[in-house]
Amino acid sequence: MAVRIRHGPSAAGVTPAGWPFVLCYTGTSEVNAMYRTTFAIVDLSALAHNIRLLKGRLAPGVRLLVAVKADAYGHGVRPVVEVLRREGVYQVAVASLEEALQIRAFDKEIPILILGALGVDECVVAAEAKLDVLYTDLCPIPDIPRLPRPLAMHIPIDTGMNRLGFKSIEAALRVIETMAHRADIRFAGVCTHLACADAEDVSHALGQVERLLQAVQTLRDKGCAPPLVHAANSAGLLRGEAWQFDMVRVGIAAYGYSPDPEVLPQPELHPVMHMYTSITRVADVSPGETIGYGATYTAQCPMRVATIAIGYADGFPRILSNRGMVRVRGRDVPIVGRVCMDQAMVDVSHVPEAQVGDFVTVFGIDPPSAWSASAWRSVPPEHRANWLQETFALAANEEGRNVLSLSTVAPLAETIPYEILCQINRRVPKLYVEA
């Protein structure tokens, strides 16, 4: 198996490929050596696999847009965009002008659509940076000054989400007609967002699709045929071709998860991120003793309790207190007591071989067999990132490695994988691997 390893930053803080690699923040300083054993592995080959899989489900001529807002759902926008360019994605989407400009700083050409509402001043900057935008009430066409280059503007139609867009197609038509008098503003298309595409009952989504079809037909009848129509999100794409229109906007599916694995199981998707920590203490706890802040857990029998080096400041949800789990030596172990800011405790009574230094799966695939406390200590801190990358990539086909999926963990935290991925703190280094 050929393995491509991304090496750590040069003195300038960037790799030869041009993007930051291992980012470990202490305050505002960037640290390249690794000391703390809490980190995430981002498998860019899994991202490429998912993109190819999703592109294979597109109807002929349909384009693929991938959402990279929120730092590419926590995965790191720069390396993700690099892969998307290589895989031939038509466009990427972000939530704000700031996110778009962050991409423009390293990629001058990739088409970018800003999905959030922009004001007049922001539209001027967007035009200068060659960014597509959504029309909203914050940027009335008459208020936008003459622009240095044409601005591509998409018209959102509110078909049932009640978030952004026109409820009245007549109002949308008036704006489109106003655009027609401006050589510096281009009508780029119409779109909507499906609120319930991942629901078992598809009636709401079908109603939205029908309302969008009616709106598009009205525009065509009035001589304002949209150049591009887009509505489907990840769930919409996974439903089939009927909802695809001219372009599909995927988010979570690109990063390896179905929007709802029970309704739309997608075992072919590969999770892109894997998160790990380690055991820092193992102790016996007697019946009647309590564990953690607030003494919310009381031992009912003799226990072995391990402390792990991760807490809510890393993005490990506090709501997992006394209800979540991690994986130690291939076995699920429950969290006992409250999740602290930087640490948590787990019951390893049924994992008698668990010991200080063991790597722990927070979510993702089990760690490679090469990862051990002694191996970690034997590697100099400045080389640990590369060691972790190499051993992870080389173990891609190792037998017997299980997956603790975020689709399992997130419901325990009363949330969805999207939120946990986006909340991983900047102090958690991300190591990028391509196998």
Q: Three-state SS for 275?
A: strand
Q: Rounded to an integer, what distance in angstroms lies between the CA atom of residue 221 and that of residue 199?
A: 33
146 marked among binding-site residues: no
Residue 339's Cβ-count burial label (10 Å; 0-12, 13-18, 19+) is: buried
Residue of 25, 167, 222, 293 with catalytic role: 293
**Is 430 annotated as catalytic?**
no
Match 């208020």 to its residue by tokens: 143
Count the residues in the chain: 435
Residue 2's Cβ-count burial label (10 Å; 0-12, 13-18, 19+) is: exposed
Comparing C-alpha atoms, which of 155, 47, 152 is closest to residue 100? 152
In sequence order, what are the residues at sequence separation of 6 or more whose Cβ sits closer than 8 angstroms to the Cβ of residue 34?
A: 22, 24, 381, 384, 385, 388, 429
Q: 138-162: b or e for each residue (b if 16 or more CB lie within 10 Å)?
A: ebebeebeebeeebbbbbbbbbbbe
Amino acid letter, residue 369: S
* Residue 180 burial (CB count, 10 A): 13
Helix (H) or strand (E) holding 45: helix 44-55
Residue 370's Cβ-count burial label (10 Å; 0-12, 13-18, 19+) is: middle
Beta strands, E only, 204-316: 229-230, 247-250, 273-285, 290-291, 297-298, 303-308
Residue of 55, 69, 312, 432 with catalytic role: 69
Q: Looking at the DSSP assignment, which residues form a beta bridge with residue 419?
A: none
341 marked among binding-site residues: yes
Comparing C-alpha atoms, which of 361, 375, 366, 370 is closest to residue 409? 361
- Cβ proximity of 47 and 435 under 8 Å: no
Binding residues: 163, 341
So which residues are the catalytic ones?
Answer: 69, 293
Binding residues for substrate: 163, 341
